Amino acid sequence: MKEYAIGFGINRYLSYSRLLIKSSFAYKTDFAIKLLLRIANPIIMLFVWTAIYSATHTSAINNFSLYQISIYFFIIAVVNSVAPSVSWAMAGDVRSGGVFTSLTRPIRYVSNVFTADATGMLVDTLTLGLPIFILLYFFLHLNLTLLSASLFLLSMGMMYAIAMMIEFLLGFFSFFTTDIGGIINMAYFIISFFGGGFVPLNLLPPSIAHISSVLPFQFMIYFPASILTGAVSPSQLFSMFPLAALWFVALLAANFVIWSRVRRHIDAVGV
Amino acid sequence: MFDDLGRDLRLFYLSQIYSFKGELTYRVSFALWSINTFVGIFLSYLFITIMYSLSAGIAGWSYYDMLMLSATTIIISNVVQYVINVYSTGRMLLVGGLDIYLTKPISTLMIFFGGPKSVTSLGGAIGGIVLFAYGASGAGVGLWGIAGFALLFALGSIIFILFMLVMLMSAYKLFRGGGWMNWIMSILGNATKYPLSVYGTIGPLIFTFFIPLGIATYYPVEAATGKIGALQIAALALFSVVVIVTLRKTFYLLFRSYESGMG
């Protein structure tokens, strides 16, 4: 059983990762177009919020200036390019029967999925996230200090860990029902709304903001996006760590319990 | 000619029946996709409500006008998704999946329109109509407003569908790809769910002459709310017909580049 333990056989995952990186760079035009599409949404939001601020004749709505809100939506584009998406991969594996093939290989299925996603994350960070960040720094004059950059990286780590746990939970649904696209999309809508993807959480009505403040979704969008806007102070971020850690542990435990049941339930379709 | 039209319509009808049957085989998936569609519509409504409770909104556009515009975008994107599945059609082009259909006596456009249908898109369109009706009753839209809306919306829908087909064929011709076509559709839908005036003077020009999707969303709502008059509606309708003819011709021209097999 030793070769199945984490830490052992790491070279297998590294080789797999190298292979994935090569195949990712095979479609260079796709990369260029994806980058353009990634920045399209924040640009649309920039126009919309400029019109809203102009019609409202104010420099700040709920202490959020137009400059802050512009930065906010661009950073969401960076966050989205780094966010995991293992649920779609798992749904595809179950439908195609690929999960069954994976189980016969000397690598863990879950680790295999994680490796593929982490590799994708690395590639997307460098090719999509970083260029957007550079554009933001030079064109919107992002105020970047060592502290804010460190806190941003920390919050991105927090985002990735919690998002990964939620993604795996969503992916496990595919073992119980044929098509989980509806569940995944619905979850994305809810995460985006309660996480601050539609509007920053401090602009939401107090009742909805209160619900958001106890959910884990705020760590997936609002916190990483707000740190660089200055809307969230370092002390606020640190005070949220226990809640983030609690959510991570709870989601991790839920993943372990569900995966142990899923393994007994595996029924590859192969359609 | 009318024999061909009858045959194509019958084929379109049959493709819908089989899609309905196929999709309803998986009832849980169907229910989940339907719930997802309605959650999306509800969140759009919530977003506009929050936006207008926080601010004065967008100049010249009341809360109900914005609901109508958002609903129109929801209806059009679902109608387009129902008529043409951009993703699966793109895949079909790449792997030569059209070959077998090209040997049959079906018109080229019908090959694209007769593909698998997303029944939940129809549900989304109905949800959009409900939201539109709510917005229209709040804005006090009259019968003439609805008539102007219906005319421009119908023409705009044809433009949107033909535009997506042209984009699909352009992506195939230029890059032999197009896995990102769904993204383009979603971004264009996102861009046109706000009044084009937010993009300055260049916005209406771009979304009328270069990416003519404003005709399907922005102008119909402007007609419904009385922001444009009968003369402007007639001019837009005439312009839409010209765009439809141009897009149709461009599509057939681009389709000549389709190569069989793994092209």
Asked if residue B39 lies in contact with residue A34, where contact means CB atoms within 8 angstroms, the answer is no
**Measured between alpha carbons, how far is A102 from A94 in angstroms, rounded to an integer?**
11
DSSP class of residue B97 equals: T
A-interface mutation test, from B63, B187, B218, most A Cβ less than 10 A away: B187
Above 70 in pLDDT, residue A267? no
**Measured between alpha carbons, how far is B89 from B94 in angstroms, rounded to an integer?**
9
Residue A65 φ/ψ, nearest 5 degrees: -80, 165
Both tokens of residue B70? Answer: 């958002």
Report which residue type is found at A131.
P
B40, B58, B183 ranked by CB distance to A189: nearest: B40
**SS3 call for B176:** coil
**Measured between alpha carbons, how far is B176 from A224 in angstroms, rounded to an integer?**
37
Above 60 in pLDDT, residue A237? yes
Asked if residue A171 lies in contact with residue A192, where contact means CB atoms within 8 angstroms, the answer is no
Is B190's CB within 8 Å of A44's CB? yes
Query: For B215-259, what is each residue's pLDDT tens digit?
Result: 999 999 999 999 999 999 999 999 999 999 999 999 999 988 887
DSSP output for chain A: -GGGSTTTTHHHHHHHHHHHHHHHTT-HHHHHHHHHHHHHHHHHHHHHHHHHHHHHT-SEETTEEHHHHHHHHHHHHHHHHHS--HHHHHHHHHHHTHHHHHHTSSS-HHHHHHHHHHHHHHHHIIIIIHHHHHHHHHHS-----HHHHHHHHHHHHHHHHHHHHHHHHHHHGGGTSS--HHHHHHHHHHHHHHHTSSS-GGGS-HHHHHHHHHSGGGGTTHHHHHHTTTSS-HHHHHHHHHHHHHHHHHHHHHHHHHHHHHHHH------
Q: CB contact, 8 Å: B36 with chain A? A: yes
Q: What does the pLDDT read at residue A4?
A: 44
Q: In this structure, is residue B262 part of a structural domain?
A: no
Q: In this structure, is residue B260 part of a structural domain?
A: no
Asked if residue A188 lies in contact with residue A196, where contact means CB atoms within 8 angstroms, the answer is no
Both tokens of residue A261? Answer: 């049941």
In chain B, how many domains are there? 1
Overall average pLDDT of the A113-119 stretch: 86
Q: In this structure, is residue B9 part of a structural domain?
A: yes
- For B151, the domain range is 2-255
Is A181's CB within 8 Å of B57's CB? no
A48, A178, A204 ranked by CB distance to B194: nearest: A48
ipTM reported for the complex, 2 dp: 0.84
Which of 94-153 (B) contact A at CB < 8 A?
120
Model confidence at A270, in pLDDT bands (50, 70, 90)?
A: very low
Has this prediction a pTM greater than 0.95?
A: no
Domain definitions of chain A by residue range: 2-269
Buried b (16+ CB within 10 A) or exposed e, B70-98: bbbbbbbbbbbbbbbbbbebbebbbeeeb
Buried b (16+ CB within 10 A) or exposed e, A123-156: bbeebbbebbbebbeeeeebeeeeebeebbebbb
Q: CB contact, 8 Å: A259 with chain B? A: no
How far B142 CA sits from the closest chain A CA (Å)?
A: 27
Above 60 in pLDDT, residue A271? no
Q: In this structure, is residue B182 part of a structural domain?
A: yes
Q: CB contact, 8 Å: A52 with chain B? A: yes
Is A33's CB within 8 Å of B194's CB? no
Query: For B125-150, what is each residue's pLDDT tens digit?
Result: 999 999 999 999 999 999 999 999 99
